[in-house]
Structure 1
Amino acid sequence: MRGLPDASFGLVYLDPPFNTGRVRERAVESASTPRDAPLPGSVTRRGFHGRDYERLRGDLRVYDDRFDDYWGFLEPRVLEAWRLLADDGTLYLHLDYREAHYAKVLLDAVFGRDHFLNEIIWSYDYGAKTRKRWPTKHDTILVYVKDPARYWFDSEAVDREPYMAPGLVTPEKAARGKLPTDVWWHTIVPTTGREKTGYPTQKPEGVLRRIVQASLRPGGAVLDPFAGSGTTGAVAQGIGRDAVLIDANPEAIAIMRERMPLATIIES
């Protein structure tokens, strides 16, 4: 990411490892930035009643010592993603309940709360359900814009959903469907579906298509630094957008090259 020029992308989608504490089938290679070596050009941000960013991060480390190591892995990549965003660009950070609340506080401190656009809840209903608590069947996607006055968002381009109570609207509205809200009901990738690549943590095309349609101009480029099976690139390629995909896993690279022969794939 550091080798790419500033403001190169209208959209960055980050779907990092979720810090579940479980071993996945694929290996994830992590790298951290030394605490006393800030990124080139980085500055200490002020916020939250005068406390600086380093103090805030330290407070969170006291609360949950797992988080600081995870953020040491994720933070330099998020900062690079921000640098690579165009002035009208949007950043989507896809996490689950383990880290989303920490990430929201820290991103507010780094980028500014006025750059926060949405918290999207992607809800699905598949797989085993515990009987010891409410089953966790959703991911959180945090959305930040580079410039709150200039960001691109095309609500007319996204797919529409059926009304839950079509009898309460006109037949014309019912036939057209409604615009999605910040809660997205969408199945995971079916085990026998067309999209299935066999890659762990693969995300469905429908979720990525909605993101790309809404937040990237036709002909624009999206960056995915944790590309995995390459869903972001497959979606972008199918609707007239470019994609740059990055991953360190040879299995992911092989799947992406087969899935998208024309995409730019960087093996990190």
Structure 2
Amino acid sequence: MPDHPTDPASDQGVSRIIQGDNLAVLAELADEAFTLIYLDPPFNTGRVQKRQSTTSIRTEAGVGSITGFKGRSYDRIKGDLLAYDDVFENYWEFIEPRLLEAWRLLAPDGTLYLHLDYREAHYAKVLLDALFGRESFLNEIIWAYDYGAKTKSRWPAKHDTILVYVKDPARYYFDSATVDREPYMAPGLVTPEKVAKGKLPTDVWWHTIVSPTGREKTGYPTQKPEGILRRIIQASSREGDWVLDFFAGSGTTGAVAHALGRRFVLVDQNPEAIQVMRTRMPDVPVHGD
């Protein structure tokens, strides 16, 4: 088991679900406690989101004034982007302090996976380059799927983007050997041995959404497939490591982490999400509101 803090969320290192405002909950968690943080925040789909802005950014983490993209300060880059797009401003003022907390909470060998709509991914990439440092950018993963209506006025948008950043590019943990392999698209071009073994995934993941009639379905509207989380958790954490998801929703991160022998902390304020997680993981204690 890795030499990390054993108890980032209290009570003898037991996995748990916490109901409450995630920014307040995060402030109570131990520095550098989590090997993996997966975040699937609410997507900004072009509607102005009436969220309460906050200035409670933890500058002691040492990331608020770093110099990043092309030597320009984080605050300057943020200002330029906010001036460019007012809809983006409201969304980013909500997500920014939570990403600063994620940086603090990541272990030195930790990895952040930020799951975004295509409308936000490119803004977020520039700001995360400044926040984490460009050298800490590991991957842009494209999750492609083929489900739902398709517009005929442009290329139909059928993908999400997952940005992957590491705390320290010289120390991060990644083990591709543990990841479930997938079939070759052209099996006739490789040996039978390779066909039987399958190939390692690339940064483009073809994976169906959660089937409306499948066993995974919880009824939660933004539920993500277990296969996506399984691949992330397999590659970027070890058995016994702590995994954090503070936009937990239906709790898929925790369910998969538990199945893979990881410990986890899930945070969500929505009572509907908490109820779904209670049903899905009845043995996991729930704390908070």
Normalised-by-shorter TM-score class: over 0.9
Deviations 1:52-102 (A, max 9, x none): 211111111122111111111001111101111111110000001110000
1:1-268 equivalent positions in 2, closer than 5 A:
1-21=26-46, 30-34=51-55, 38-41=57-60, 42=62, 43-263=64-284, 265=286, 267=288
The separation in 2 between residues aligned to 1:192 and 1:132, in whole angstroms, is: 30
Corresponding residue SS for 1:87: strand
Residue identity in the other structure for 1:82? W
Runs of 5+ in structure 2 lacking a partner?
1-25
Q: CA deviation at 1:21?
A: 3.7
Aligned residues: 262
Residue identity in the other structure for 1:39? R
The separation in 1 between residues aligned to 2:187 and 2:102, in whole angstroms, is: 41
Residue identity in the other structure for 2:124? A
Deviations 1:2-45 (A, max 9, x none): 1001011110001000111459xxxx9944223xx643415312
Corresponding residue SS for 1:55: helix
The separation in 2 between residues aligned to 1:94 and 1:227, in whole angstroms, is: 12
The separation in 2 between residues aligned to 1:93 and 1:199, in whole angstroms, is: 20
Residue identity in the other structure for 2:58? L
Residue identity in the other structure for 1:5? A
Query: Are 2:216 and 2:225, in contact at CA under 8 Å, matched by a contact in 1?
Result: yes
**Equivalent residue, structure 1, for 2:17:** none
TM-score by length of 2: 0.87
Corresponding residue SS for 1:93: strand
The separation in 2 between residues aligned to 1:70 and 1:154, in whole angstroms, is: 33
TM-score by length of 1: 0.93
Runs of 5+ in structure 1 lacking a partner?
none
The separation in 1 between residues aligned to 2:190 and 2:27, in whole angstroms, is: 50
Q: Which has the higher contact order (CA 8 A, sep 6+)?
A: 2
The separation in 2 between residues aligned to 1:22 and 1:199, in whole angstroms, is: 21
The separation in 2 between residues aligned to 1:174 and 1:135, in whole angstroms, is: 32
